[in-house]
Each structure stands twice: as C-alpha cells, then as structure tokens.
Structure 1
Amino acid sequence: MRKEEKDNLKLMLQALIVGLIAGAVVGLFRFGIEKTSAFWLYLFKEAHNNLVWFVAIVLGLAAVGIIAGYFVKQYPHVGGSGIPEVKLQLQGKLQLKWWQILWRKLIGGILVIGTGLFLGPEGPSLQLGSSIGQGVGEKLKQSKYNQRVLLATGAASGLSAAFGAPLSGALFVLEEIFHNFSPRVWMNSLVGAIAANFMVSYFFGLHHALGMPYDHSFPIYLYWHLVILGIILGLLGHLYKKGLFGLKKVYLKITWLPRWLHGLIPLTILIPIMYYWPLITGPGNRLILSLQKMLTQSGWALVGILAFYYVLRIAFSIISYDSGLPSGIFLPILTMGALIGATYGTLMVQLGLMPAHLVINLIIFSMAGYFAAIIRAPFTAIILITEMVGSLLHLMPLA
C-alpha cells in the first residue's frame, strides 16, 4: 500500500474517532436540553396553581442569563451559533482554543436553550463538533491541512448528531462552510457524520426527528401553489434576515445594560409567553409535531391562530438570537417555515383551492424552502428535510 493511501486511511480512522466523540458530546448536549426544558415546563405549570413559583422562575432565569452571559464575556466566540467562527477557522483567519469553546458552549447552550427561548441546538452542536475535531487534530499533531479536515469533520458530525441527519451534516459543511467540493473533506466528514449519528441513535433510539406520517403525493396539477408558496417563503425569509441585522443594531444602542447581559431581555419577555403558550416555546420541534393534530380542526380561526404563532415566533426568535446568547437558529427556522406552510395551506383549504389532506405536504415543503431562503443552502435543505421526515414522497415538489 502506498504512503498516501496509508495516510488517507489513518485520517479516516481519526475522522471516525472525531465522529464518535462528537456524537457522545452532542448526545449529552441534547439530553441536557431535554431535561432542562422539562424542568422549566414543570415550573411554569406549577405557577398556574401557585404564583409563588414565579419567584423561583424569575431568579432562575436571571441566573441563566448571568451565567451564560458571563461565559460570552469571558470568551466572546462562545456567543451565537458559532458557525461564522467555524467558517473563519477553516479559512485560516481565526485561531480559537478548542477547550475554552467546548465546555462553555456545552454548559451555556444547555442552560439557554433549555429555558424555552426560540433558539435551537444545531449551530452550537456544529461548533461543539468542530472543537472536538480541532482538539483531536492538535493532540495527534496533524498537518495544518489535515487539522482543517478534522475540524470540518467535527462540524459535520455535530450537525449530524443534532438533527439525526448524517448526509445533511456532511453536505452542509461542503455547501455552506467549505464552499468547494473536496473528496478528502467529503469522505472524512461523511465518516464522522455517520459515526456521530450512530452514537446519538444508540442513546436516543432510531426515529426521525420530524417524522410526520402522510400518504398522499402532491399532485402535479396543484404545483402552482408551490410557485406562490416559494415566493412567500423567499420574501418572509428576506424579512427575517433584515430583522436579524436590524435588531442587532438596536441591541448595541442599549448602553444602560452591558452587552454580555443582554440575554436578560429575551429571558424576561419569555415569562408571559411560557405562561400562556408553552406549546410554542423552545426550538420548535414540539410545535411542528403538534401541527398534524391541530390540522384536524378547521375554519378561519385556525388560519388566524397559525398566523399569530408565526408572527410571535419570528419576532421573538430575532429578539432571542440577537441577544448574543449561545444558541442556534436552524430548528427555529424550520418551525417558522412549517407555520408558513400550515397557514398558507389552511387558507387555501378555506378558499376551496386545495384538499385538506395536502396541507401536511406544504408544511414539509415550507420547512425546506424557508431554510434555503435564509441559510442559502438549497441542497442541504432538500436532503435535511428528507432525512428528518423520513420519506422520499415529497422529493420532487420539494426540489
């Protein structure tokens, strides 16, 4: 065997190690968020019976904002999703200490995302994975290029473990982060992503993250809906991005509160939302999976409720994310896309322009469309939704 082939196999073995470790860490991350979320839901449920619980809620949320904010103050690159940092690292424009990122992102992310803010675990999972890839590359004294490959592998592994979608994890790294097709990066990222998905599947079971059963393909004579829906998704996606950039400037003008404590603002606003509408809080997977049950209702009232949920989700998602807390927006974006599809679909049903059983199809299409409009990664969007929903019936209209 030639030396080059040996080196490639050696690197692939290291990618496998990165994937297994990343899967275990992100699995712990998801478990922590799940348990923390259940804890906050319990507190708010008890508050309905005894208002004294609000004292514990206020003190607890304040503690979360201060602790997570202090992590960001100590090491600013812990804030946000971490994806911009990973991009700069792969371009050789940024050097980070992987361990300083890893433990702060893990603890801060669990504390913040578990509260019920409209934030997701995917970006932080990607950065957790990339930190592990960087750490393995440094410990094994790999070359600079191979360290970048392992860092990219870790990023793919982290995203794969967060979504349970290994193909999407590897593809996202190429499409959105690496920006070119490198066989070496692709192969190692895929090995790591599959290993990470194996780890989380072992702990959480083999099931699709957004498994929504449906039995009807979308008929071609109704494809005109997809054109209209695509335009709506594009416009609303642009509005969301404008909101993200605009509110960030507003936060910077809030001088009476230090930047690292801006997380206290969305945590305060969260209290009435969590009290009155607990179903719609959190990253959004709970709300997405409940849409099918909601669609058994009918009438203009349902259209209004779904539209209200979307407006609330988009506004508070921007407020939550721009505060600078450790968090991601992928799952919140999919949630907003699902609400757009559900609102549009139920409206068309009310107007007699579409049968009710096809609304679930539009929810699936809209998740991918909204993701593609905002993240600008259409191939990842198509494969991601296919993996998360667990069906190929929607592939053609989705594309």
Structure 2
Amino acid sequence: MLQIDLLQRLRQWLLPTSRASAIAYAVLIGLVAALPAVLLKVSSGWLGSWRVHAATQLPSLIVLPVVGVSFGFLAGLLVQRLAPEAGGSGIPDVKATLANVPIKLSWRIALVKLVSSVVALGSGLTLGRQGPTVHVGAALAGGLSRYLPMSPDHRRQIIAAGAGAGLAAAFNTPITGVLFVIEELLQDLSGLTLGTAIVASFIGAVVSRLLGGRSLQLNLELTANVTSFSLGEIPFYLALGILAGLLGSLFNRGVIASVKVYRQLHVSLPWRVALAGLISGIAIALLPAGFRDNTGLREFLITGEASWYIAAIAFVAQFILTLVAAGSGAPGGLFAPSLIMGSALGYLVGILEYKITGMSLPTTYALAGMGAFFSVVSKVPLTAIAIVFEMTTDFNLVLPLMIGSVTAYLIAEQVDPGSLYDKLLAVNGIYLEKAAPKKGLLTELTAKDVMQPRVETLAVQMTLDEAVQAFSRSHHRGFPVVDDGKLVGIVTQTDIAKMRDRTLPGDTLLSEIMTPEPVTVSPQASLANVLYLLDRASLSRLPVVEQKKLIGIITRADIIRAEADKLNGETGKAGPQPEPSYVVYQTRSPAVGRGRLLVPLANPQTATALLQLAIAIAKERHYEIECIQIMLVSRHSSPAETQVNTTKSRRLLRQAEVEARKFKIPVHTQIRVAHDIASAILETIKERHIDIVLMGWKGNTITPGRIFGNVVDTLIRQATCNVVLVKFAEEPAKSTHNPALWSKYRLPMRVKDMTFHNLPNFNRWLVPMAGGPNSQAAIGLLPAFLTLAEEPFIHLCQVFPESRSPADTDILEQGMRYLVRQKHLKGAVTAAPMQAKSVVEGVIELVNKQDFDVIVLGASREGLLQQAISGNIPAAIASSIDRTVILVRGAIASN
C-alpha cells in the first residue's frame, strides 16, 4: 500500500497541474539547453582558432577558401541528409512551432543542428552561434516534452523556455532570455510562462558561466572606464538610431533577397553553403587579419582601438558576407553579425561626434549601436537593450541604449514593418497570423463551459455498505467524495470491488477506501488541457474544482458533444444543452379563476406553509393554483425518453390538491422531467399563462456570481409574471407591540373564513418602502397575506441616510392610503421614516428592536455587475435575519 501511495503522489506531482512540476521542468530544460550552448561555443571556438592558425601557417588565399568550401559542403550535407529542419537560423522554425504550425522539434534536429553549426561556423561563414543555440534549446525541450507529462499549453511554454535558456546560455544573459521569450516568441505575460522562462534562463546562464570559463563573474572588463554619457549627446544617439533603422531595414530586405537569389540557382543545399563558404573565404583572405575572428573583431571595435576606415570596412564586409551566408541556408544565426554591424556603425557615429564636440568616446556609441542594429534585425527593442546591458553591466549605457534602440525600431517599423523571421517563414510558404489567431474549440472553450454543474457526490463519512448501495442505484462508475462541499477524494467501482475482495467490514468509512487528492481541473482550464489530463491519467471524467469547492464534472462525452455541436453548425452555448422539459404527469381542474398562480414544490418540509400562502393569494384574487414538481435528469439523457419514478412527487401533489379543495380553489398539478429547473418553470409560465410564481427560497447562495441562486436569479431576470419568493424563519419571532410610531390607523374588522395550521407567526409585518414597481407589487399582495394573521400589525418604513433629514415621505403616505382603502382588512397599520447608515442596517435594526415576524421586500433585478458593486439590498437583509422574508418582483414586459 505504501508503494501504491508513493506512486500516486509521484503521478500527481508530475502532472502539469502541479506548480512544483512546472519548476522542475524549467530547471531540467535550463540544464539541457545550457550544455549544448557551451559545447557549441567551445567547439566552434576551437575550430575557428584552428582555421585562423592554419591561415597564418599557409597562404590564406588558399586555406580560407578551401576550408570554407569543404566545411560548408559538409555542414549542408549533414542538414540535407539527416535533418532538413536544422538549416538556417532556426528561430523562425521555433516561432512557427509556438504558433501551432506543424514543424518538428526533436532531439535528432537538436543534434544535427549542433554539429552542423559547429562545422558551418568553423568554415568561416559570418554567422553567429546564438541563433542555433535558441533552436537547439527549443528542440531539446520539444523532444523532452514527448516523454514528460505536459499539457499542450505547457509544452509550448516549455519549448519557449528552452529557446530562452539557449539564448541566455549563449550570451551569458538570463534577463535577455526571458525578454526574448516574452517579446518575440510567445508574447505572453502569464504567470506560468514568465516563471518557467525565468527559471530556465537563469539555470542556462549559470551553467554557461560555470562551464564556459567565466565562473559566475560578470563581464565588467569589457567596458571598464570606456563609456560615458551627457545630455548634449542625445542628438547624436538619435542620429545613430535613424541610421541603424534605415540600414537595418536594408539588411533585412537583403536577407530575403539573398534567399530568393540562391533558390534561383537550383542547386542543392550542400553546394549553396559551399558557395557561400568559398565567397566568404576569398573575401576574408583579402581583408586584414583581424577580420578572420568575428568575436575578436567585435571586441576590437568596442575597446576603441580601431580607426574609422577599419570600422567602415568591418560594417560593409559584415553586411555583405552575412547576406551571402544567410541566404544559402547554412545553419547559423544573425544575432552576432548584427551586433558586429551595430558596433561598427556606432563606432563611426562616435568618431564623428568626438571630432565635432569631443564630449564622449566612440566606444559608448559602439555599444549603443549594437543594441540599435540588433533591435532592427530582430524587432525586439527590449531584448536589444537588455542584451548589451547584461553583457557590459554598465549603467552609463542604459539611456544611450534606450534612445538608439527605440529610435531604430520605430524607424524600421515605418520603413520595413514586420519581423524578419515572419518574412523568412513566408518565403517558405508559412504565414503566421498577424492578428490574434482564431482559436479552435479545444482552446477557446473552458471546462466551465462544457462541464455538468450538477454532480452526484458521496459524503466522506459514508460507509462501505452505503457506497455499494449508491453504486447499485446509479449508472455512474465513480463518485467524487466531498466533505462540507470540498472535494477530498474520489471512489470508483474498482475501489469498491477491491475492498469487498479484501472482506472489509461494511461499516468501513469511505475515507479509508477513496483515492485522496484526485486529479482535478480548474474552471478556466481549456478543453485541450482537460483532454490531455484525461488521456494522461487514463480517466473518463474529471472533477472541476474552484478553491477546493467541487462545482462540476467533465467527461470525454461532454467534449465530444461540444465538438459535434460545432460540426453541426450549432452556435449556442457550449456543453450539454438543456432540452425542453417533458410533462410525465398532470391533473386538471375547472378553469374558473381570473388568473393562475404557479407553486413549484420541492421541499416537503416547507411545502405546506408555501401552499397555504398560495391559497391565501388565490382566495383573495380568485386565482387558480398550478402546482408543479420538477424532476431533474442528466443532460446526456432526453427528458422525453428518461424513465422516472413519480410516486413521491404525485403524493406531494395530491396533498396540495386536498388542501386547496378545502377552500374550493381549483388546483392543477403536473410533473415535469427537465434538465434545468429554471428553464422548466419558464416554460410552464409561458404555456400555462401564469400571473404569479410563488416559490420557496433558502435566503442565501454560495454560487459564485449569483445573488439569490441559480434558479431564482434566472426567474427574477426572465420571468414575465410576478415573482414571489418566501424564506421561512427557522424559529418564529416573539410578537411584541410598540405603539410609539409616526401615525396609526385601525383597519376594519372582517370574519376570517380560512384557518391554517403549522404556519410561522404572521402577526407583525414590516414593509420597507423605496418606491418603484417592486415596492408597489409588494404592497399589492399584503391584503392576501394579512388574511393569515390573527391580529395583524403592519408597519411601513422608509430608510434615509444619516447625512440628510427624511424630508420626502410621499412613498409612505401612498402606501398608507392604499392599505386604508382596503376595507376588508383588519388590524393596525403605522408608518414612519428612519435614519441609518444604510438601508440594510436600518431594516435589520428595526427588525431586532421591534420583533417583526415577516418582512416584505421588493426584489431587485439589476444587472449582476451593478449588484457586485453596490450589493443587493433584499438579499443582504434576507440572509442577515432569522425571520420570514417575502421578496416580491413585479411583472416585466415579455420580449
């Protein structure tokens, strides 16, 4: 049993619903992305050093072209034969994969990319290793995700984190890796994306620093005492940004043109890369020796040792040779060449500024130029600022970097809008959505949209024998186990069978049998995640939990039905749709009344009292009574085809008929089978031309986003007739009388012809007045209600804020005049204004002070947003006092 428990806990921990598993995956991705980045750095550095050394020992005009052709051909051959997806920078492929384009990311691609990039960079092509490390990191993460339990959304985030970790490891810049994921790859700031990217990039950068030769020290030696900035230089940095924006845009267009030119040659990839290696080898052999080492060239410019013509040659040479290499499809990135071109351009602007003003050294401009040109090529200005800052850790550079990078980005977006990576994908026939992509059903709908909100559950205190009986009465193969509404476990038929095989006693508690901490989903989980969990955990259904509260259950059938609805063109609400209710039993009396009053009977304990209230209204208004019982069935079953047992329901309805006939009131009864109570009541209102709905209410709700509860909220918003809700007091209030009121009238006496038993005390009535149709409707029902009292006493009140005096009492006077005109009433009626902090506090204070038995309120039907802001006064009063509360909502016009 201990081993099974440990396996269950490990399985739960590995599922993507666990935050701990997300962190563990991020750490693992950071490690596997950093190692190849370090290997690529060391291997390409060693091969490049060998090439440079060979060029010094033998004629460079022979060595460099030969190395370029041979190594270029080999790199292209590796890609073509082993993994065609490993060509080029690789970043466009990663971006396309994250946009749900079916492009492979696997360990095989990562390995081929790593080896071919080492060979290509060793050939002398002016490409960088940072793009390949991004591709390798993403490919490793993609391959790893096939063997670890991950949802589709989590897999995308892990792949993006692997790409970010690869970039962080390549440059030793963890912040840059995070920003690149957010700004370019996913464009997502959700907690899981951000947290996963941060952890993976941090681990990648730390491992790279430890294994790459810099330990954990920062790169302070690069720019020590060589940067400065003053406000007078801002125009020159703006000029640098403009130049970078224009030239960077030209470079991006050149890359696209180069790709198209190579394709027109109609030669295979190995020969294209070999041609690029030949051209690069010849050009580099003719240039000064410093151009043979790209990293050395960049640092040569940054340290300020180059002359202006060396910087100009460096920019032109890198510009042309990078276009030659990138268009061939060789495995290599554009990050490093763009940094070199940016540093050369910035160095030239810095020399010009120094000649004119002498305020700053050219090295500051070289570093700012790196960020400006990088932001244009990659269209990621924040990443460009971060990458240069992290490589230098020089705060003097922050403002120059921001001015140059943002200006360059804005200019480039005007001259050549769009991402270079998107355009490279477009050349290959892959077009990413510029606007928000259209979501499929599995990503658009959530568990809450499709779940079944009504869930059959078992209590944790239930015994084994009781659970067996529950299974025998149900077609379900499993039940959630709850404790005070909170999900604590799940029990299946298999669990019950195993326990019975072990001959456990029948009084064994369910808490000892159930599977604790079951796999669950949140209401916001996409259907894609739900399907993944169902498949991964080999389940047929999942509980939907919100703050540990069980709010529904979702099955494979629910998802299949939602898909089928979409295929059939049904655009209504997703999930199991309620069918019209079906009448399985009914009785009819003579239709002699002036109207009809509908009484839904559900709780036998309050049915008698509720029916006596209905009889009082029907007697006073000469109405017929329509009693209804609603039997709910699963939305997977048709109400018209589901067999139900109506014995108990018919017994309750017959009691209602007997009680009403004592007072010669026509009673109609019916039993409806339905998917939804509120819908069935609304159907009955329409079919039977109902004038008033009278129903019980518990006084509060725990349903999120609801005021009175699911059924009552729907009726208050949609029922076209009068709606009367009754919350009965648990203990009748003691009746006292306080005559010290504003005014008092005696109503005429009448002989009661109705006698009821087992009713709460209905003698003292409080009616808060606020004006409007609902208050008028509440007053209109008082004559009927008062027939239930032996010695009725009615008090009308109007609550005014403490900040102003009760000046306008017209509403009270109107209510008084109406009641006085009801000559058939007996008892006393008083009215008085009062002051309080709020209506709720005022009414509660009055109820507690004068011991009213019944409070009659007008029920509100404002929108839920307004209710959430201002609160619902009737609901607040009803849930705060233990008295009988009657809420009345007047009829509304039908649509």
Q: What TM-score, normalized by structure 1, do the two folds share?
A: 0.91
Tell me if structure 2 keeps the 8 A contact 1:165–1:384: yes
Tell me if structure 2 keeps the 8 A contact 1:152–1:189: yes
Q: Alignment partner for residue 185 of structure 2, among 155, 171, 177?
A: 177
Counterpart check, 1:68 vs 2:68: no
Question: Amino acid of the residue matched to residue 58 of structure 2?
Answer: A
Aligned length: 386
- What CA distance in whole angstroms lies between the structure 2 residues aligned with 1:395 and 1:43? 41
Tell me if structure 2 keeps the 8 A contact 1:18–1:192: yes
Q: Give the equivalent residue in structure 2 for 1:153.
A: 161
- What CA distance in whole angstroms lies between the structure 1 residues aligned with 2:305 and 2:115? 39
SS in 2 for 1:117: coil
- What CA distance in whole angstroms lies between the structure 2 residues aligned with 1:121 and 1:174? 21
Q: Alignment partner for residue 7 of structure 1, among 9, 18, 43?
A: 18
Tell me if structure 2 keeps the 8 A contact 1:252–1:259: no
Q: Cα distance 1:214–1:269, how it changes in 2: closer, same or farther (>3 A)?
A: same
Report 1:119-130 matches (<5 A).
119-130=127-138
Tell me if structure 2 keeps the 8 A contact 1:164–1:208: no
Report 1:25-36 matches (<5 A).
25-36=36-47
- What CA distance in whole angstroms lies between the structure 1 residues aligned with 2:124 and 2:270? 20
Tell me the CA shift for residue 5 of structure 1.
Answer: 9.6
Counterpart check, 1:103 vs 2:106: no
Deviates more, 1:223-232 or 1:328-337: 223-232
Tell me the CA shift for residue 134 of structure 1.
Answer: 1.2
Counterpart check, 1:331 vs 2:347: no
- What CA distance in whole angstroms lies between the structure 2 residues aligned with 1:59 and 1:182? 50
Q: Alignment partner for residue 265 of structure 2, among 230, 238, 254?
A: 254
Counterpart check, 1:16 vs 2:22: no
Deviations 1:62-100 (A, max 9, x none): 332222112232332111111111111112112415022
Q: Alignment partner for residue 374 of structure 1, among 374, 377, 382?
A: 377
SS in 1 for 2:169: helix
Tell me the CA shift for residue 296 of structure 1.
Answer: 4.8
Q: Alignment partner for residue 283 of structure 2, among 251, 270, 273?
A: 273
Tell me the CA shift for residue 194 of structure 1.
Answer: 0.8
Q: Alignment partner for residue 263 of structure 1, among 270, 273, 289?
A: 273
Q: Alignment partner for residue 194 of structure 1, among 198, 202, 205?
A: 202
Q: Alignment partner for residue 353 of structure 1, among 333, 351, 357?
A: 357
SS in 2 for 1:223: helix
Question: Amino acid of the residue matched to residue 357 of structure 2?
Answer: L
Tell me the CA shift for residue 358 of structure 1.
Answer: 2.2
Question: Amino acid of the residue matched to residue 108 of structure 1?
Answer: S
Q: Alignment partner for residue 312 of structure 1, among 290, 312, 317?
A: 317
Tell me if structure 1 keeps the 8 A contact 2:16–2:151: no
Tell me the CA shift for residue 280 of structure 1.
Answer: 2.0
- What CA distance in whole angstroms lies between the structure 1 residues aligned with 2:230 and 2:222? 21
Tell me if structure 2 keeps the 8 A contact 1:292–1:360: yes
Q: Alignment partner for residue 39 of structure 1, among 35, 43, 50?
A: 50
Deviations 1:202-221 (A, max 9, x none): 11223429922235531002
Which is higher, the Rg of structure 1 or of structure 2? Answer: 2
Tell me if structure 2 keeps the 8 A contact 1:244–1:322: yes
Q: Cα distance 1:105–1:292, how it changes in 2: closer, same or farther (>3 A)?
A: closer
Tell me if structure 2 keeps the 8 A contact 1:153–1:192: yes
- What CA distance in whole angstroms lies between the structure 1 residues aligned with 2:378 and 2:221? 19
Tell me if structure 1 keeps the 8 A contact 2:351–2:362: yes
Tell me if structure 2 keeps the 8 A contact 1:273–1:281: no
Asked which structure has the greater RCO (Cα within 8 Å, sep 6+), the reply is 1
Tell me if structure 1 keeps the 8 A contact 2:249–2:377: yes
SS in 2 for 1:193: helix
Tell me if structure 2 keeps the 8 A contact 1:137–1:146: no
Tell me if structure 2 keeps the 8 A contact 1:210–1:388: no
Deviations 1:148-173 (A, max 9, x none): 12111111110000010011011101
- What CA distance in whole angstroms lies between the structure 1 residues aligned with 2:65 and 2:352? 39
- What CA distance in whole angstroms lies between the structure 2 residues aligned with 1:95 and 1:312? 34
Q: Which has the higher strand share?
A: 2
Q: Alignment partner for residue 392 of structure 1, among 392, 395, 405?
A: 395
Question: Amino acid of the residue matched to residue 286 of structure 1?
Answer: G
SS in 2 for 1:394: helix
Tell me if structure 2 keeps the 8 A contact 1:310–1:339: yes
- What CA distance in whole angstroms lies between the structure 2 residues aligned with 1:15 and 1:33? 27
Gaps of 5+ in 2: 1-8, 403-895
Tell me if structure 2 keeps the 8 A contact 1:212–1:289: no
Q: What TM-score, normalized by structure 2, do the two folds share?
A: 0.41
Tell me if structure 1 keeps the 8 A contact 2:74–2:270: no
Tell me if structure 1 keeps the 8 A contact 2:93–2:103: no
Tell me if structure 2 keeps the 8 A contact 1:44–1:274: no
Tell me the CA shift for residue 238 of structure 1.
Answer: 0.8
- What CA distance in whole angstroms lies between the structure 1 residues aligned with 2:103 and 2:249? 32
Q: Cα distance 1:233–1:97, how it changes in 2: closer, same or farther (>3 A)?
A: closer
Deviates more, 1:368-377 or 1:140-149: 140-149
Report 1:226-305 matches (<5 A).
226-255=237-266, 257-275=267-285, 276-282=287-293, 284-292=294-302, 295-296=304-305, 302-305=307-310
Deviations 1:355-392 (A, max 9, x none): 4x421111111111111122110111111110011211
Tell me the CA shift for residue 21 of structure 1.
Answer: 1.6
Q: Cα distance 1:325–1:112, how it changes in 2: closer, same or farther (>3 A)?
A: same
- What CA distance in whole angstroms lies between the structure 1 residues aligned with 2:221 and 2:322? 20
Deviations 1:25-73 (A, max 9, x none): 211111111111111011111114xx8x93x655543332222112232
